[in-house]
Structure 1
Amino acid sequence: MPGTSAPGAPPAAGLAPSQRALAPDLARGVMLLVIAVVHAHIFRLIQTPEGGYTLSGTLDVVVTGAVTLFAENRGYPMFAALFGYGLTQVYLRRTAEGREWPWVRRLLRRRGRWLVAIGLAHVTFIYYGDIISVYGLVALLFAGTLRYTDRRLLAHAFTWLAVGSLVYTLFNSSALNSAAQGEGAYPAEATALTDLLIRLFSWPFTTPLLVIITVFPFMIGAWAARRRLLEEPERHRDLLRRVAGIGIPLAVLGGVPYALVTTELWDAGTLAEAAAFWTHVVTGYAGGFGYAALIALIAVRIGTSPGPVTRALAATGQRSMTCYLLQSVAWAVLFSPYALGLAGRMSDTAAVATGVGVWLATVVLADLMRRAGVRGPAEAALRRLTYGRPARETAPIAR
């Protein structure tokens, strides 16, 4: 009867930590460092009092250039690809159990709805640049693409790459021009209420832009999951070497023009700056995929005997949503004008160093949770909300 499982049916729940592959978790843990550095750098810019943003010396120029070349628009594509990889793993596991597509689709969409809800709460109470709700919307809108053939999936992916990158560049170029004129800076007298209103007002505008640049890496992640590239990296060494060896240098080379803009070494016109930014975004996808491939190759070298640092980074990756939310709390406390308000008193170098420090704190906390056998609170909540009570959420196994 509906609502019961067949005898011997596996429970509808996620993988236990001991069953997880090392490479995806290690990649998430390392890329949270990239996310932290970029977010700290952005906060230094947007929450500096109007007209106060400058590069204060040679070290700032070097640090800003490095963030542009190696981090900005490089970590996000990798996270989006890992989200597509993980969602595809759920789909493949459930269909391998014999679950029918309507049941699996409901599961994926229920997960997406709760991600949107968590993301909205994140925006409301903490941080304006939420990506959790973006992933939820992608799950809701594009869960059906997980059933596409490889050819159809890749065709859709590259179409979204072409259209999404152009639209994102168009809107972002306008935002950059406004910020350069001081129009996008936070007012020095901002309060918690005005900050809340800014976040809620900007969410409907920024979220669609993030969705359109997320679909491409999401679909590439789904394609990679079908081949178990990160779960069985030892079987795909040649492909992973090519992706890392081409993707990372391509991202660095493609980021050079925009790095010259961000370091104020090139006073580019509007069209030239937009072209530099578009190149930066498109090659950033290659860099994100290259980072994932490089970390998978490192996981192969580590093998089945990870050291304490690797275990701590993997623990961070297993609790990536919790650590991401903790980072947001740190930005709100450290940089908001109505809290400590450090943004206006920091150089770019200090902001980036702060980002590294916040990431290290989350790594230590995640490892302590691992040692105590405690899941990340955010991951535990999402799992419970997605799967519910086994007796209520399990479904008949198709024979």
Structure 2
Amino acid sequence: MVVPDVARGLALLGIAIANLPTAWLTPGAPEAAFFGSINNVFDQILVVASAMFAHNRGLPLFSTMLGFGVGLIAMSLWRKQFPAKRARQIIIRRYFFLAIFGAVHLIFIFYGDIMFYYGLTGIIIGLLLTVRDKVLAVTSYVVLGIVTTGGLLLLVWGLLSGTDMSAVTEGGRIEDFDTSSYLGLLGFNAVTFVLNFLSYPVYILGYAPIMLIGFTWARRGVLADVPAHRKELSFWAVIGVVYILGIGLPWGLAEIGVLPRELAPTFLTTNLFTGGITGPALLAIFALALQPVQERADRGPKPSVWLQIPMALGKRSMSGYLFQSLAFFVLCYPVALGITPESVSAQVGLAFGVWTVSLILAWLMEAVNMQGPFEKMHRRLSYGSTLQPELHKKGSNKK
């Protein structure tokens, strides 16, 4: 399918732009530096664009696609007549190894890893494999509705009261580690891992609902038959546009001084708490926009090259994500090159450059029909030497 691969490939750009200033340039610092220095009009444009389309946009879209991927695997196993118990075992095993990948990545390279939490949530979704779509959808909408409503009420309260919310985004600093040495960085990452694991229930509230929405969309064939689900997708697309214009735009305008600067922390906080809702919304926008392309692809003709390239990265999204980590580690961390671009333009330019290199590498692998290295390793651990799920466990005498 065109849409899932394009969505994953472009989500990685949003993740790179958001992660560089908030994580790679600030290990051990509060997650407050969402943007670099603003020196000119071009910087101002990039701040507004990043507030609207990057910060807490790529991660929710990626999260929705995680759930969608679990749903595709489930449907594939159903079509191959895997019994529910065996299908559940396969999915749990697959996402257990994703969690292991994430834990290693988090502790040894990047404290802002998401794969560990994706793996844990994938296991939970696997346990819910036989629950009806309607039950999962209602649960997702209720939890997402409560979280979003709470965040919007916080926004209204902040705007009306004039309360300074900068303390919310500046909390969580860990002072006791010298991250200029790799040993200190390992210590910081390990402590962060423990703290993040303890806060996993909060993560569940924010992102598990959109993963379940992606999961049910895959099982219901929402993206496979856009015309039949146009009303639902349009509803989500409207939510996305309203949110981006209502939260992202004023946040960006406050950051550059067009709106009162003291409003920026309020909109930033709201975006942190409620931006997950943009995951399904952005996926719906992609589905509606690319419907003609998908219909042509279903008839046989390949999409144009400008879509095939991000699709190649989307097919290798784990490798693309880990490539970002390795590249930013070498480029930005003080234990390596220690490059620290200051202006918004320089930061976005570096993030875009790293993403572009990953794009080119993925396209070259696509040209020679080569799997992403980490995808292949993950399949090998999950499924064994065949790289495919098997109906019976190894050693079983069942035929």
Q: Same fold (TM over 0.5)?
A: yes
Consecutive aligned runs of 4 or more in structure 1 exceeding 6 Å deviation: 48-54, 184-189
What residue identity is the alignment partner of 2:37?
L
Q: How far did residue 279 of structure 1 move?
A: 3.5
Structure 1 residues 45-60: aligned runs within 5 Å: 46=26, 55-58=37-40, 59-60=42-43
The equivalent residue for 2:219 is 226
The equivalent residue for 1:16 is none
392 and 307 in structure 1: CA distance in 2 versus 1, 3 angstrom threshold: closer
162 and 277 in structure 1: CA distance in 2 versus 1, 3 angstrom threshold: farther
Pairing partner for 1:310 from 307, 311, 315: 307
The equivalent residue for 1:112 is 95
Whole-angstrom CA distance in 1 between matches of 2:346 and 2:204: 31
The equivalent residue for 2:278 is 287
Whole-angstrom CA distance in 2 between matches of 1:392 and 1:55: 50
Q: How far did residue 261 of structure 1 move?
A: 5.5
72 and 54 in structure 1: CA distance in 2 versus 1, 3 angstrom threshold: closer
Pairing partner for 1:383 from 375, 379, 382: 379
The equivalent residue for 1:325 is 322
Whole-angstrom CA distance in 2 between matches of 1:95 and 1:202: 39
Matched, 1:236 2:218: no
Whole-angstrom CA distance in 2 between matches of 1:186 and 1:232: 53
Matched, 1:145 2:128: yes
Whole-angstrom CA distance in 1 between matches of 2:284 and 2:307: 17
Structure 1 residues 269-284: aligned runs within 5 Å: 273=265, 276-277=267-268, 279-281=270-272, 284=275
SS of 2:128's partner is helix
Pairing partner for 2:206 from 206, 213, 226: 213
Structure 1 residues 1-399: aligned runs within 5 Å: 21-43=1-23, 46=26, 55-58=37-40, 59-161=42-144, 176-178=169-171, 190-207=180-197, 208=200, 209-260=202-253, 262-263=255-256, 266-268=260-262, 273=265, 276-277=267-268, 279-281=270-272, 284-302=275-293, 303-304=296-297, 305-343=302-340, 345-390=341-386, 393-395=390-392
232 and 54 in structure 1: CA distance in 2 versus 1, 3 angstrom threshold: closer
Whole-angstrom CA distance in 2 between matches of 1:103 and 1:195: 41
261 and 340 in structure 1: CA distance in 2 versus 1, 3 angstrom threshold: farther
Whole-angstrom CA distance in 2 between matches of 1:187 and 1:348: 27
301 and 215 in structure 1: CA distance in 2 versus 1, 3 angstrom threshold: same
114 and 233 in structure 1: CA distance in 2 versus 1, 3 angstrom threshold: same
- For residues 64-104 of structure 1, the C-alpha deviation after alignment (integer angstroms, 9 at most, x for no partner) is 23211211111211111111111011112212322221111
What residue identity is the alignment partner of 1:291?
L
Q: How far did residue 206 of structure 1 move?
A: 2.6
56 and 278 in structure 1: CA distance in 2 versus 1, 3 angstrom threshold: closer
SS of 1:383's partner is helix
SS of 2:223's partner is coil
Whole-angstrom CA distance in 2 between matches of 1:175 and 1:80: 24
- For residues 155-206 of structure 1, the C-alpha deviation after alignment (integer angstroms, 9 at most, x for no partner) is 3213432566669x9xx97552348xxx568988721221121111111223
- The CA RMSD measured in Å over matched residues stands at 3.4
Contact 1:153 1:223 in 2 (8 A): yes
Q: How far did residue 273 of structure 1 move?
A: 4.1
Whole-angstrom CA distance in 2 between matches of 1:383 and 1:292: 25
Contact 1:48 1:185 in 2 (8 A): yes
Return the TM-score normalized by structure 2: 0.81
Contact 2:226 2:291 in 1 (8 A): yes
SS of 1:147's partner is coil
Work out the number of aligned pairs and report it.
370
What residue identity is the alignment partner of 2:114?
I
Contact 1:233 1:297 in 2 (8 A): yes
- For residues 134-175 of structure 1, the C-alpha deviation after alignment (integer angstroms, 9 at most, x for no partner) is 1100022232333222332123213432566669x9xx9755
- For residues 315-338 of structure 1, the C-alpha deviation after alignment (integer angstroms, 9 at most, x for no partner) is 100000000000011111111122
Larger displacement relative to structure 2 (357-366 or 209-218):
209-218
SS of 1:368's partner is helix
The equivalent residue for 2:162 is none
Whole-angstrom CA distance in 2 between matches of 1:326 and 1:392: 27
Whole-angstrom CA distance in 2 between matches of 1:186 and 1:339: 21
Whole-angstrom CA distance in 2 between matches of 1:251 and 1:315: 27
Larger displacement relative to structure 2 (233-242 or 379-388):
233-242
The equivalent residue for 1:10 is none
Q: How far did residue 282 of structure 1 move?
A: 6.0
